Amino acid sequence: MNRYPLSPHWPDFSFAIFASMIPTVLLLACFHGKPHRVHWTRVEKIGISVNFLAAAGLLFLLFYGKDLGAATNKVNLPDAEGKMTERLVPKSEFRKRLGVFYFENQSGDSTWNWLQYGIMILVDFDLDQDPYLVNVNAHYQTFKEAGFEDGVGAPLAFKKKIAAERYHDYFVTGSFTEQNGTYTIKSMLYETKRARLIAAHVFAGNDLFVLADSISVQLKRDLQIPDYYIEATEDLPVAETLTKSFAAFEMYRAAQYAIWQDRDYAKATNYYEKVIQEDPTFALAQYDLYQTYVNLNRRDLAEPAIRAAMQHSYKLPQRWQFWVKNAFHIIQGDWQSAAENAQHWVTLYPRDTRGYYELANHYSIMNRPDLAIAEYQRILELDPGSHANLRNIGDLFKEKGEYDQALKYYESYARIYPHESRSFTTIGYLYKSIGEHEQAKAYYKKALLIEPESATILSALAGIEMSLGNFAEAEQQYQRALQLAKRPQDRSTVHQALSTYYKFRGRIGQAIEHYELYIAELEKYASPLNILLAKSDVFGTIELYILAGKQDRSWKIAQDFEAQAQQLISPFNQFAPFLYICYYIWLEDPENAWVLEQEVEKVEPFIKEANREIEQPYIRFARGKVNEFRNEYTMAISNYEKALPEMRLPTYYKSFIKTQISKCYGKLNELKKAEASLQATLVFEPFFPNAHYELALAYHEMGKKEKALKHLNTALKVWEEADAEYKPAQKAREKLAEWEKVTAKM
C-alpha cells in the first residue's frame, strides 16, 4: 500500500481472503499431508466448494460498495496556459479530513502569544498543498463565543466537539515554548471519534518555517498517507508558499487578528500594506488585502491587489489558486469564467467542499435552485457534519414554494440539534411564510424556552403579533426585545424589525427613526460595504423617505450610491439603476412610466451578461409597474404573476405585490378575481392594511356595502395612529367620509 496507488481496502480484503480459506487449508492438510498421492474425497469436494461459496459471500458482505480499484482518478484539467493536461487525484473516499487547532504558548512570555495562531496558520497552509487532505483551521469566532477569549485555552473535550461538528476525522493541536531563539513545538494528533491520541512529537529549532514543514510531513505519516504519494506529491516549503520574511508573517497574523477580533478593516489594511512592503511576493497577503479593500469600497485598490495575487499565485497551493482566480473573474464581472473555475475546482478536488459552495452560489445567482440544491446535497454527502446545509437546502425549497420539502430538511436539522434555538426559529419562519401563524408562534416559543432572553426571537414573535393585529402586544414585545439586546448585532435586528412594524402602521416618522438606529448599530460591527448597501436599501431608506413625502432625500440616496458605485466590485457596481427603478416604483407617478422603462432597459444587458437571473423577477415586476402606469392592466397582471413566485422577499412585500395584482383586476372590473386574490393575500398577512383597503373597494363596487365598510374599518384600525401625511391612510379616511356622506343622504 505504501508503494503503489492501490485502494487502502486491499490489505483488509487480502486478510479476509486468507482468514476465510482456513477451512480449505485444514482439509488439504488433513487429506493431503502425507507424501504419497491421495485421491480427492467426497468430504473435500463438498467442504472446499462450500468454503469457496461462503468466502465469496463473506467478502461480498464485507466489501460491497467499497472501491477496490486504484486510489486515484485520472482527470483532464487546463494548466496555467489553458492547455488540457492529465492529472492523478485521490478518490474522495480515501482522503483524510483534518482539523488544525491553536498551539498554546507555554513559554511564560506573552509577547509570543501571536504564535498561538501563527503556528496554526503555517501548518494548515502547508498541509493545504496536499490533495489527499481536507484540512480546516480553527474558527476563531467559535472559540470566542464559547467563552475562550482569543480562541485559546479550550479543553480537549471542546476541541473534540468542534472537530466532530465539522466532521473532521482527526484534529491536531499542541503547544510551544521559546528560549534564546529556539522554538520547541509539541504537536498532538487525535482521532476525533474517541479523542484518542494517535501520535505526539516534539520539534525543536530556530527556523519556525522549517519546523512547520517538519510537523506537516510527520502528520501525513501519522495519518498513514502512503509513502509513494508523499514522495511523489509536490510539497514546497511553507516559506516558499507564504513568505520567507518572519517580520512579514508576524504582521500578516496581526492583520488577520484585527479583523477576527475587532472587525477593524482600516487597521488590517495598514498591516497588510506593511506586509506587502516587506515581501511584495506574499500572494496570500495580496489576496487578503484585496478582500479588505473590497469591504472598504476601494475597488481602485482592490483590483491591483488581486492582480498582484494572480501574478504570484504560483506560490499558492492549487486550491488557493482557485480562490484567487475566482476573485479575479468576479472583479472583472466575468461570472461565466468564475463558474467554470468552480467546476474545475470540484473536478480536481472532489472532496473539497469549498468548490461546491462556489458552484451552489453561482447556481443560486443564475436562479437555478434545483442545481444549487444538488450541490448542497453533494456537500452533505462529502461532509455529513455540515448540518447547516440542511437549512440551506430547506431555504431553497421554501423559495421554490415546495414547503413540505423545506419542512423536511428543517426538521432533519432540528432532530440533530434539539437544544439549538435556530432549529425552531427556522421552522417558525416557514410557518409564518405560509400563513400558519399559530404554528409559527408555537415554534418561536419553543426557541424562547431554549434562549429565554433572546432579543431576536422575541422580536420575531412580535412580528407575528403584528401580522395578527395584536398591536399593543407586539409593541410590548418589541420594547422588551430592545431591553434584552446586548450586542450591536441584536440591537440592529430589533431596530430593523421595529422599522417594519411602524411602516406597516403608517407611522413613517418612527419607521425612519428606527431604520437610522439600525444603521447606527450596523456601523459598530459590519464592513463599510455592507453599511453602504444597508443605507441604500430599496426596501428601507428609498421606500421610507418617499412614504414620508421626502422624495428629494430618496433621490439623493440613489445618486450617492451611483457616485460610489465605481468603487464597488461586481455586481454591486451595477446596482445604481435598481435604486432608480425602485424610486420610480415607490413614487407611484404614472407620468414616470417612460423613465422607469428606460432604467429597466439599462439593467437588462447586465443581467444577461452576468447570468444573474436572480434579478429577473424584480425586472418583471418593474415592467408590470410600467404596464400598470399605462393602464395596460392585463399585461401588468401577467408580469406580476410571473415575477411573484421567484422573488426572494419577506411576506410583507409579497403581500404588497399580490395587492397590486388585485388592484389591476379591479381596474379591469374583474371583481371576483380581485376578491379571490385579496382573500388569499389575507391568509398570509391577516391584517395587511393595503389588502383590506382594496378589498373594501372591490366589495363596494360589488354592492356588498357592509363587507366593504368592515374591511375599510380594518385598514383604518391598522392606520389609526398613522402620520398625517401618510397618503394610504389619507385615502382610506377620505373614502370612509365619502361613504358615510352617501349613507347619511339615504
- Do 676 and 705 meet the contact criterion of CB atoms below 8 Å apart? no
Residue 230 burial (CB count, 10 A): 15
Q: Residues 715, 692: contact at Cβ < 8 Å? A: yes
pLDDT digits (tens, 9 = 90+) for 274-295: 999 999 999 999 999 999 999 9
Domain presence at residue 710: yes
Cα Rg of the chain, angstroms? 32
**Got the DSSP string for 76-110?**
EEE-TTS-EEEEEEE-GGG-EEEEEEEEEE-SS-G
More confident residue, 639 or 29: 639
Task: State the Cα–Cα distance between residues 345 and 355, nearest whole angstrom.
Answer: 6
Residues 221, 98, single domain; the answer is: yes
Same domain, 111 and 165: yes
- The percent of residues in the chain predicted with pLDDT above 70, rounded, is 89
Strand partners of residue 185: 176, 203
Alpha-carbon separation of residue 495 from 258, 439, 480, 499, 536 (angstroms): 27, 25, 12, 6, 17
Domain-located, residue 333 = no
In a domain, 399, yes or no: no
Among the ranges given (106-110, 200-204, 269-273), the one the predictor scored with the smallest mean pLDDT: 106-110
Q: How far apart are CA 9 and CA 12, in angstroms?
A: 6
Last residue of a domain, one of 573, 590, 617: 573
Q: Taking residues 298-305, what's their average pLDDT? A: 92
Cell reading at 319? 486550491
Residue 9 is predicted with a pLDDT of 65
Q: What are 675-695's pLDDT values in tens digits?
A: 999 999 998 899 999 999 999
Select from 481, 284, 353, 328 the least CA-distant residue to 95: 353
| pLDDT (tens digit per residue) in 643-663 | 888 887 777 788 888 999 999
Q: Residue 155 is part of a domain; what is its CATH number?
A: 3.40.50.10070
How far is the C-alpha of 534 from the C-alpha of 540, rounded, in Å?
8
Which tens digit of pLDDT belongs to each residue from 136-170? Answer: 665 666 676 666 766 677 888 888 888 877 768 89
- Residue 232 sits in the same domain as residue 124: yes
Give the pLDDT confidence score for residue 68 in this predicted structure: 59
Of 391, 393, 365, nearest to 377 (Cα)? 393
Residues 738 and 698 placed together within one structural domain of the fold: yes
Domain presence at residue 551:
yes
Residue 80: pLDDT band by 50, 70, 90 thresholds? very low
Q: Is there a domain that residue 161 lies in?
A: yes
Of 224, 241, 258, which one is at a domain's C-terminal end?
241
AA letter at 436: E
pLDDT at 572 over 70: yes
What is the grid cell recorded at 349? 478536488
Q: What is the pLDDT of residue 139?
A: 64
Indicate whether 222 and 122 sit together in one domain.
yes
pTM, rounded to two decimals: 0.79
For 190, phi then psi, to 5°, come to: -120, 145
Residue 124 C-alpha cell reads as 494548515
Whether 466 contacts 504, CB under 8 Å? yes
Half-sphere exposure of 138 (CA within 13 A, CB side): 34
Pairing type for strands 72-78 and 84-90 reads: antiparallel
- What distance in Å separates the CA atoms of residue 441 and residue 447, rounded to the nearest whole number? 10
Domain-embedded: residue 369 = no
Helix runs in 401-453, H state only: 403-416, 421-433, 437-450
H or E element at residue 192: none
- Specify if 638 maps to a domain: no
Per-residue model confidence (pLDDT) at position 1: 59
What whole-number distance in Å separates Cα of residue 186 and Cα of residue 191?
17
Distances (CA, A) of 288 to 272, 306, 320, 455: 8, 9, 12, 34
Answer whether residue 67 shows pLDDT above 50.
yes
All three cell numbers of 125? 497552509
Read off the pLDDT of each residue in 106-132 and give the average, rounded to a whole number. Answer: 87
Whether 731 is covered by a domain: the verdict is: yes
pLDDT value at position 344? 84
Q: How far apart are CA 126 and CA 68, in angstroms?
A: 30
Asked whether 206 and 182 are in contact (CB, 8 A), the reply is yes
Whether residue 493 is predicted with pLDDT greater than 60 in this model: the reply is yes
Residue 134 CA to residue 154 CA, distance in Å, equals 23
**Cα(257)–Cα(668) distance, rounded to whole angstroms?**
62
Listed in sequence order, the residues at least 6 apart from 279 whose beta carbon sits closer than 8 Å to its beta carbon are 243, 244, 245, 248, 285
> For 424-430, what is the mean pLDDT?
95
Asked if pLDDT for residue 28 goes beyond 90, the answer is no
Residues 517 and 557 in one domain: yes
pLDDT at residue 77 greater than cutoff 70: no
Q: Which domain holds residue 37?
A: 10-63
Q: How buried is residue 207: exposed, middle or buried, by Cβ count under 10 Å (0-12/13-18/19+)?
A: middle
Window from 114-123, 260-269, 712-721 with minimum mean pLDDT: 260-269
Query: Is the preceding omega at residue 418 within 30 degrees of 0, hence cis?
Result: no
Confidence of residue 26 (pLDDT cuts 50, 70, 90): confident
Q: Examine the pLDDT at 228 and tell me if it is beyond 70.
A: no
Q: Phi and psi for 102 in degrees, rounded to 5?
A: -65, 150
Cα separation, 575 vs 162, whole angstroms: 39
Is the pLDDT score of 335 beyond 90?
no
Task: Find the mean pLDDT for residues 464-479.
Answer: 95
Q: Please indicate, yes or no, whether residues 96 and 223 belong to a single structural domain of this protein.
A: yes
- Helix (H) or strand (E) run with residue 296 in it: none
Residue 285, exposed/middle/buried by CB under 10 A (0-12, 13-18, 19+)?
A: buried
Here the cell at position 739 is 361613504
Mark whether 227 and 113 lie in a shared domain.
Answer: yes
- Residue 407's DSSP bridge partners are none
CA distances (Å), 341 to each of 303, 356, 672, in order? 19, 11, 52
Q: Shortest CA distance to 691 belongs to which of 721, 726, 656? A: 656
Q: Same domain for 218 and 113?
A: yes
Q: For 349-402, what is each residue's pLDDT tens digit?
A: 776 778 888 899 889 888 889 999 999 998 888 777 678 899 999 999 998 889
Q: Are residues 100 and 53 in the same domain?
A: no
* Rounded Cα–Cα distance for residues 194 and 172 (Å): 14
Q: Please state, rounded to an integer, the average pLDDT across all residues of the chain.
A: 86
Residue 36 banded pLDDT, cuts 50, 70, 90? low
Q: Are 479 and 495 a contacting pair, CB within 8 Å? A: no
Short-list 568, 567, 564, 571, CA closest to 334: 571
Least confident of 6-15, 268-277, 444-453, 467-476: 6-15
Instruction: Indicate whether 302 pLDDT > 50.
Output: yes
Q: What is the domain count for the chain?
A: 4
The SS3 of residue 638 is helix
Q: How far out from the chain centre does Cα 189 lie? A: 30
> Residue 23: what residue type?
P
Of residues 674, 609, 600, the one with CA closest to residue 643: 600
Indicate whether 497 and 563 sit together in one domain.
yes
Q: Average pLDDT for residues 528-532, to the nearest whole number?
A: 90
Among residues 209, 241, 273, the one where a domain terminates is: 241
CATH number, domain with residue 681:
1.25.40.10
Paired residues of 97 in beta bridges: 134
Q: Which of 501, 538, 532 is nearest to 519 (CA)?
A: 532
Assess whether 17 and 116 both reside in one domain: no
334 with 302: CB under 8 angstroms? no
